[in-house]
Structure 1
Amino acid sequence: FVVFPFFFVNIFVALIIITFQEQGEAELQDGEIDKNQKSCIDFTIQARPLERYMPNKRNSFKYKIWRIVVSTPFEYFIMMLIVFNTLLLMMKYRDAPPLLDDILQVMNLVFTSFFLIECILKLIAFGFKNFFKDPWNIFDFTTVIGSIVDALVLELVERNREIPPRQSPNGQIYLNGFDASTKDNSFNMGFLRLFRAAR
């Protein structure tokens, strides 16, 4: 007795939906457009243009830089750099030869330089206000800053390796400018590398 009322309610709702659909199709049959054409028209009416900044003066240096950074070849070039940068990160492994570590470090600096140049060009083309309106630009800017910090930390670690170990008055040994008993340095390095992987 409880199931039957729900069953009839569902049938009633289904009949109402079918009736409305048939009435809508009947109205379309009387017109000159079909259902798909009406959907396209509705989509066009409801669409809103995307906001995209463009410098006013087309003869200015800023406009020329803008044309470069919004061009398709420039975007493909940046995507190619991101792919190569990701592959470079995958080549890093534990107990790697010193020569490989040096090559990877130099290549990381090269990629970081390219991404920094990209960021500077976009800042020139869009200006600070319009540049930071785009969440992707904010993400790229944060990633570039993280990559620069990562490169600086790597350079400091390399320089500290040249410093001989020293012993404090209480007998605790400090190696390469860091406490030999802690692993915080390696954790920080791994965290900073996430910026490049995210890029």
Structure 2
Amino acid sequence: MKIEHIEQWIGRDVLDGDGEKVGKLSEVHFDGDRPVVGEISTGRISKKQHLVPLREASATRDDLRVPYPKDTITAVGGPAPDGSVTHEELAAVAQAYGVHLGVDDGPRTLEGSKAREARLAAAAAALARAEELEREAALRAEETQAAEERAREAADAVEQARAAQRSAERAAAEARAQAGPAPATTTA
């Protein structure tokens, strides 16, 4: 059975090519989105870590199977104490298993599944926040556009009121001019 998300198999038993239990899958190291090597934890007390290529890994009903002998797996060391897998360690794994891991473009470390999960969660949160900010920006742009429209309407109303006032003042001036001079008032 092909494995879609091998990191979901962490904690499950790993069987060798003969079906013998080797240990438990404790970590998966990725090159981008591609799982390259897994860490197998062996021993009940010592919990030694061993790296194994995952390219040929397959799933049984409850276990993960790798096509390598248990002796080969337990002879290969684990990752650095900080949990990283360097280019040099990958070269040693490739040589020990006689495989090509497809990671030849220079020194770098692989990303563990926990770090990858945290990075992907942070990226998803950042994307969600960016989308939220875009929605807020669009809403504010609509509000700004509506406010600008109201301001234009208010300016038009002010201009119409001023025009009406000027018209009324002209009409009043014309009416006063037609009426002639105001009669003199006498005081008696």
More helix by share: 1
TM-score between both structures, scaled by the size of structure 1: 0.20
Instruction: Decide which structure has the larger Cα Rg and report it.
Output: 2
More strand by share: 2
